[in-house]
Amino acid sequence: EKIFLNGKVISGVDAAISVFDRGFLFGDGIYEVMVQLENGLFYGDAHWQRLQQNLEKIGIDYNVAEMEAYLNPLLMASNLLNKPCLIYIQVTRGVAPRKHSFPKDVRPTTMMYALPYSLPHINTKNVYAILRSDNRWLRCDIKSISLLGNVMANERAMEENAEEAVLVRDGFITEGSHTNIFFVKSGKVYTHPANQLILDGITRKIVLKLCEDLDIPVMEKAIGVDQIDGMDEAFLTGTTTQIASIAQLGDHTYHAPDTIGPVTKKLQEAFAELKKLEPEK
């Protein structure tokens, strides 16, 4: 396994990070996940841009163009050039004596790797998702490597044989532990507005665009836990999840596990078509 680390592509066994790395000590860093399809990176530019913007949000001075330039050498070394794969990218504030405030003049730690990974044409799962209280901080728009709130919620989902934990803050549904959530009611699509309470998912943005193209009305408005029962369909979105139908959310069953709601299905099919197009830069 090859790893890009601090400006070099090296063997995984040689990749080492200091115990004084602020990513390790404070969770002080940003990450990104994207996929490469047969025909190229899927919304690669949107992912690189989000990484750059997130670094700016937390005051890490680093131009992601350097990592972008190393992607092909990494893929080549990993034998994944032009092959379906998943790319994980992480940038931390760097190595410095442990002190909360930002260190001066440190080089950020940059790391990326690629693994063979193929997305199914359509995600045919029909998931059961539990409801959990959203215990995260109030800057969920930042793709922080500090994921304890997400990790703990997702672990509970696994314990309950569910696929995802859907988070509730002040009586409103925000997002999943690693996905965004959408609802459908009377042909209209609802999702939480992209404010500081959710991560503005790239897949979320793609789905909003597909709704526009398909003349499906959208409202970026949070749904209350008390409204779950009144919705017709619900689905999750994410880079590796794509669009996953929800069969059951908490105590409410939307449909049998072998049934997918019509709007969810339409969006899944449109999403699958989108992947066949030349990659959008």
List residues with catalytic annotation: 143
Residues near 246 by Cβ (< 8 Å), separated by ≥ 6? 126, 127, 128, 129, 181, 233, 234, 235, 236, 254
Should residue 109 be labelled a site residue for ligand PMP when binding is judged by CB under 6 A? no
Smallest separation (angstroms) from ligand PMP to the CB of 267: 14
Round to whole Å and give the CA distance between 247 and 245.
6
**Which CB atom, from 123 or from 180, has the smaller least distance to ligand PMP?**
180
Smallest separation (angstroms) from ligand PMP to the CB of 99: 29
Tokens standing for residue 18: 């200091």
Q: Are 113 and 40 in contact (CB under 8 A)?
A: no
Q: Which stretch binds ligand PMP (CB under 6 A): 15-23, 124-132, 171-179, 224-232?
A: 171-179
Local structure of residue 120 (DSSP, 8 states):
-
**Which CB atom, from 9 or from 165, has the smaller least distance to ligand PMP?**
165
Q: Are 139 and 199 in contact (CB under 8 A)?
A: no
Beta strands per DSSP E along the chain:
2-5, 8-11, 29-37, 40-41, 85-92, 109-116, 126-133, 164-169, 172-176, 180-185, 188-191, 218-220, 233-238, 242-249, 252-253
Window 189-248: residues binding ligand PMP (CB under 6 A)? 199, 201-204, 237-239
Round to whole Å and give the CA distance between 180 and 184.
14
Smallest separation (angstroms) from ligand PMP to the CB of 114: 16
Round to whole Å and give the CA distance between 169 and 171.
5
**Which CB atom, from 108 or from 238, has the smaller least distance to ligand PMP?**
238
**Phi, psi (5° rounding) for residue 168?**
-125, 125
Should residue 180 be labelled a site residue for ligand PMP when binding is judged by CB under 6 A? yes
**Which CB atom, from 239 or from 264, has the smaller least distance to ligand PMP?**
239
Residues pairing with 159 in the sheet: none
**Contact residue for ligand PMP among 21, 68, 163, 175 (CB under 6 A):** 175
Should residue 29 be labelled a site residue for ligand PMP when binding is judged by CB under 6 A? no
Smallest separation (angstroms) from ligand PMP to the CB of 136: 8
Smallest separation (angstroms) from ligand PMP to the CB of 199: 4
Q: Select the residue whose beta carbon is closest to ligand PMP and give its number.
A: 201
CA distances, 156 to each of 29, 151, 160 (Å): 25, 9, 6
Smallest separation (angstroms) from ligand PMP to the CB of 88: 11
Q: Which stretch binds ligand PMP (CB under 6 A): 103-111, 174-182, 221-229, 246-254?
A: 174-182
Contact residues for ligand PMP (CB under 6 A)? 33, 150, 175, 178-180, 199, 201-204, 237-239
